A and B are shown apart, each in its own frame.
Chain A
């Protein structure tokens, strides 16, 4: 039982990796285009007043990294969001704000779950999950933000 299970596991892993490569190939390229067109900076400047409300009393530098992290998250640039998030974390002084950033990133503020949608489309899904995913996303974000505001001093 053990040997065939393990062999089958690795085979499924390899097959699934290929499937993911196809999805990543398309989406990373699209996101690269967005990045080069300056879309993340556009969204970042749009998010700036919102960020200043949510994260109080930080330096301009911190806000710059923060908004870039949030906008990268929104358009699904998972990989692009991380370095900005780390730099925002380093430049923020207030503990409550750092926790807020961790919670926002952990609760997944992505607008369109591209990988999941592509996986489903590849399997011929006829039902759609964009709307429920968006609602759940919004709900987890709101719950997270409220809990940070209430519980963290």
Chain B
């Protein structure tokens, strides 16, 4: 499993050379886009980090955690994930911030951090996607798309919590 990423990158480079794609220019373009993307999300990251710090300092984090802990524990979901689970469907950069704070609080290889990583890798910002995808379409109603996606993702959260115990 540890070789997947290097092999993926190597194959990409080989195909690019065979197809005569200009590799250097592609990297320069990639960096340009990365700068744009980073500058775009920096204000949101900084704001969410302020929110996280204030929630911690004021004890709100602790209260939310305490309020939902029994339900999470019942389903086998680590209770440290309470805030991440609330924010995940709403905001990509916001949930990344909570992931980072789980990494720094509990360590990247800890059980809650691993479950959070799997959840981040396997679910998406449901409400944001529906809003963006329907923004230009004539039909604006998303019907059952949001409830169905939320249910499916929640099944994923429970499964992730179980899988990380044995894998």
Q: A and B bound?
A: yes
Contact B137–A107 (Cβ < 8 Å): no
Contact residues in A for B21 (Cβ distance below 8 Å): 33, 36-37
Q: How many residues of B contact A (CB 8 A)?
A: 84
Contact residues in A for B1 (Cβ distance below 8 Å): 128, 130-131
Interface of A is mostly: helix
- Chain A's interface size range is 35 or more
Count, A-B residue pairs, CB within 8 A: 267
Contact A140–B50 (Cβ < 8 Å): no
Interface of B is mostly: helix
Using known A-B contacts A107-B124, A140-B122, determine if residue A102 contacts B49 with beta carbons closer than 8 Å.
no
- 4 A-B pairs with least C-beta separation: A29-B30, A113-B121, A13-B46, A9-B50
Binding site for A on B (CB under 8 A): 1-2, 4-5, 8-9, 12-13, 15-16, 18-19, 21-23, 26-27, 29-31, 33-35, 37-38, 41-42, 45-54, 56-57, 96-97, 99-100, 103, 108-109, 114, 117-126, 129-130, 132-139, 142-146, 148-149, 151-153, 155-156, 159-160, 163-164, 167
